[in-house]
Structure 1
Amino acid sequence: MTPTRIEVGGPQPYPVLVGHDVTRELGGLLTGATRVALLHPPTLRERAARVRDDLVAAGYAVHPIEVPDGEAAKTLAVAGRCWDTLGELGFTRSDAVVGLGGGATTDLAGWVAAAWLRGVRVVHVATTLAGMVDAAVGGKTGINTARGKNLVGAFHPPAGVVCDLAALATLPAADYRAGLAEVVKCGFIADPAILELVEADPAAAVTPGNPAERELVERSVRVKARVVGEDLTEQGLREILNYGHTLGHAIERAEDYRWRHGDAVAVGLVYAAELARRLGRLDAATAARHGAVLRSLGLPTTYRADAYPELLATMRIDKKARGNRLRFVVLDGVAQPVSIDEPDAETLSAAYSEVSA
């Protein structure tokens, strides 16, 4: 089947290719490069070997660089090791980096490419649902620090993104389910049809290869493509993509990144909905719909009651914060996201009671 091509606009436009067995399209996104650094986690050695063979056959000199799996890859030490390797290989500005893996791998690969020689080409091959609908698209790159997630990075749009749906067939069930949190997020902030597709058959939605899978991925990518095409550097509109992420990122840090990103975001979505309800912005039915759809997918909607002080402190250094003022993305209704500035402390705390385990 012909891959779907979704264009991301902006100063540096690029395509997102969605379909089955579309990794063969990768070579065309690297035209002009001589050397290609292929960053991948150990769990994808076999897939990386196949990608390497295809690119070598197409005339590229390919250098695999194995990086840790998950958030453990997103450290200054790992990035430094990658830059050392690029230096040893003599990488120039015409060469390219490929990030093969989930969101953590593409975040790292993008940052490595953004900083090397002040910016070389990067192409992402997303192999997880979360990577396809969120991390690989949009040009956000970064690593974590001891104080929080993604606090060091750059906006560096890729030359292209390949979303090979065939890779989802072997994705662990828990990872696939977690990726659906980002899909649901896109439904609430911009495309209600996504919610209707998920709610029609939640049991099917959590199964890789389900009949709605391709449409859910494409709709979610289109939401992100439209937003980042208008606001690459998050000066306004792009903030809506952080719906559920302010608390979600704080939970990830509190768990030392042992929680999956999507699981933490699921709790964050319920919290943001309750915050909007208590502020009189969102009706009770839509707020309750958040928890209902997420629970139907087997996603968590609660977190430790005693964690609130620590989470609040972390949220205050969230990237959306301005000075010492907290900012949240909330909804006035489905597909009506807005940013709010420094909700009162009592409401913030009361909303947390909705997600307190």
Structure 2
Amino acid sequence: MPVIPVSLAGRSYEVRVGTGLLADLPAQCGKLLRKAAVPVVTDETVKGLWGETVEQALAAGGFAARWFVLPAGESTKSWASLEKLVDWLLAEEVERNDHIIALGGGVIGDLTGFAASVVKRGCGFIQLPTTLLAQVDSSVGGKTAINTAAGKNLVGAFHQPSLVLADLGVLATLPRREMGAGYAEVIKYGILGDIDFFAWCEANGAKVMAGDAQALDYAVSESVAAKARIVAEDERETTGTRALLNLGHTFGHALEAQTGFGDRLLHGEAVALGMVLAARYSARRGYTTQPDAARVTAAIAGAGLATEIAGLGLNCSGQQLAQHMLHDKKMDAGTLPFVLLRGIGDAFLDKQVALDDIAAFLAEQLA
């Protein structure tokens, strides 16, 4: 079983990748479970699929699951849900040294982590990510947040989990569309910093999407290791290194905002489109070549992900899409840095991008 350390001063933790980890939950968590009653936060879909497995595993170890079940979907990452969850955790008498379990995808992990960061001024939590996207991205690194009317992930905190258990077995229940959304974050690590891993994705992406056990194990482990290295170097995104993980996200969040942050465009699908746009815009600026941009596009298309925003039927202008970017949390002194490419495996932060030029570029892509 691959075990990837996330090395942080005084707060290091492990990400364990394997099959059957949920059924072995008490042994995996060890002393992190201090009380007989264990708070577990999940959504209705995941509870139906994996609730019994978790409940039986905890019971076998002498623990009782106490469930807080939320509706599935991005709308759950809200002030209202946060308030309800915090009130429930306080009613459950959660203490600072206790650990809350987050069982679900990125929505549940983000919401639970944020609640854990504010309850009693910070208590522990354990990530049990149940989507490919959450296993390779949102469960690792300590970014927690909710969405607001102003935009996505604008209210949150850095709060690292104490343990992440990426059970590959749960991915067998994922719809293909959700697998594709997660795969976008896998190939992202190759595009931004590892051309050899990108080449592996080109050759093995279909196997990952099909749920091949060996390919999934490698894809998840390599992705987590890449993110762990970046987080260890720049935990709070202050040096610019961690900002590279936002490749595709500035474009992607604008697309999500235009489509209402709903099921019309999943986060991973938006990131995939965003990476295509970032590659094409990089070529437009002369940073990388058109063949590299085409190679990125082909690799993403090869996984069954959309690569043309014109096909989304957005009914908006390039200027309107660019306006969404003004609410991006990466805005700094009135400017918005973009993660662009000098080539595949060589991403960098460009702080000299004019939004008017972005608007013109997006108008061309919409045509």
Q: What amino acid does structure 2 have at the position aligned with 1:286?
A: D
Instruction: Give the one of 252, 258, 273 matched to 2:256.
Output: 252
Residue in structure 2 matched with residue 19 of structure 1 by the alignment:
18
Residue in structure 2 matched with residue 272 of structure 1 by the alignment:
278
| TM-superposition CA deviations, 1:37-95 (whole Å, max 9, x none) | 10111112241232123223323343110012121220010111111111211111121
Residue in structure 1 matched with residue 53 of structure 2 by the alignment:
50
* Structure 1 residues 8 and 354: CA distance shift in structure 2, 3 A: farther
Instruction: Give the one of 141, 144, 156 matched to 1:141.
Output: 144
Residue 305 of structure 1 and its aligned partner are, at CA, apart by 6.6
Residue in structure 1 matched with residue 333 of structure 2 by the alignment:
323
- d(CA) in 1 for partners of 2:107 and 2:25? 20
Q: What amino acid does structure 2 have at the position aligned with 1:23?
A: L
- d(CA) in 2 for partners of 1:155 and 1:50? 30
| Aligned partners of 1:138 and 1:157 also within 8 Å | yes
- d(CA) in 1 for partners of 2:140 and 2:54? 20
**Any residues of structure 2 matched to 1:33-182 within 5 Å, and which?**
33-34=34-35, 35-46=37-48, 47-182=50-185
| Aligned partners of 2:133 and 2:183 also within 8 Å | yes
Q: Mean alpha-carbon deviation: is it higher for 37-46 or for 226-235?
A: 37-46
The secondary structure found in structure 2 opposite 1:158 is coil
Residue 26 of structure 1 and its aligned partner are, at CA, apart by 3.5
Residue 127 of structure 1 and its aligned partner are, at CA, apart by 0.9
The secondary structure found in structure 2 opposite 1:99 is strand
- d(CA) in 2 for partners of 1:116 and 1:63? 17
Report the TM-score, using the length of structure 1 for normalisation: 0.94
- d(CA) in 2 for partners of 1:25 and 1:159? 17
* Structure 1 residues 315 and 342: CA distance shift in structure 2, 3 A: farther
* Structure 1 residues 347 and 288: CA distance shift in structure 2, 3 A: farther
| Aligned partners of 2:90 and 2:119 also within 8 Å | no
Report the TM-score, using the length of structure 2 for normalisation: 0.92
Say if 2:365 is the partner of 1:344: no
The secondary structure found in structure 2 opposite 1:332 is strand
Percent identity of paired positions between Structure 1 and Structure 2: 36
Instruction: Give the one of 287, 290, 298 matched to 1:284.
Output: 290
- d(CA) in 2 for partners of 1:230 and 1:154? 18
Q: What amino acid does structure 1 have at the position aligned with 2:19?
A: H
| Aligned partners of 2:40 and 2:66 also within 8 Å | yes
Say if 2:32 is the partner of 1:29: no
Q: What amino acid does structure 2 have at the position aligned with 1:10?
A: L
Residue in structure 2 matched with residue 184 of structure 1 by the alignment:
187
- d(CA) in 1 for partners of 2:151 and 2:213? 35
Q: What amino acid does structure 2 have at the position aligned with 1:26?
A: L
- d(CA) in 2 for partners of 1:320 and 1:86? 31
Residue 325 of structure 1 and its aligned partner are, at CA, apart by 0.8
- d(CA) in 1 for partners of 2:104 and 2:242? 24
Instruction: Give the one of 233, 238, 241 matched to 1:237.
Output: 241
| Aligned partners of 1:70 and 1:105 also within 8 Å | no
| Aligned partners of 1:122 and 1:158 also within 8 Å | yes
Q: Mean alpha-carbon deviation: is it higher for 308-317 or for 131-140?
A: 308-317
Residue in structure 1 matched with residue 7 of structure 2 by the alignment:
9
Residue 210 of structure 1 and its aligned partner are, at CA, apart by 5.2
Q: What amino acid does structure 2 have at the position aligned with 1:225?
A: A
The secondary structure found in structure 2 opposite 1:306 is coil
| Aligned partners of 1:101 and 1:126 also within 8 Å | yes
* Structure 1 residues 54 and 25: CA distance shift in structure 2, 3 A: closer
| Aligned partners of 1:305 and 1:353 also within 8 Å | no
- d(CA) in 2 for partners of 1:205 and 1:267? 19
Residue 346 of structure 1 and its aligned partner are, at CA, apart by 4.8
Instruction: In structure 2, list runs of 5 or more residues that go unmatched.
Output: none
* Structure 1 residues 346 and 309: CA distance shift in structure 2, 3 A: closer
Q: What amino acid does structure 1 have at the position aligned with 2:351?
A: D
CA RMSD after TM alignment: 1.7
Instruction: Give the one of 310, 330, 345 matched to 1:335.
Output: 345
| TM-superposition CA deviations, 1:301-325 (whole Å, max 9, x none) | 1224724223212212212111321
Residue 118 of structure 1 and its aligned partner are, at CA, apart by 1.2
Query: Number of matched residues?
Result: 355
| TM-superposition CA deviations, 1:201-260 (whole Å, max 9, x none) | 443332123542211111111110100011111112100000000011121122112211
Instruction: In structure 1, list runs of 5 or more residues that go unmatched.
Output: none
The secondary structure found in structure 1 opposite 2:327 is coil
| Aligned partners of 1:305 and 1:356 also within 8 Å | no
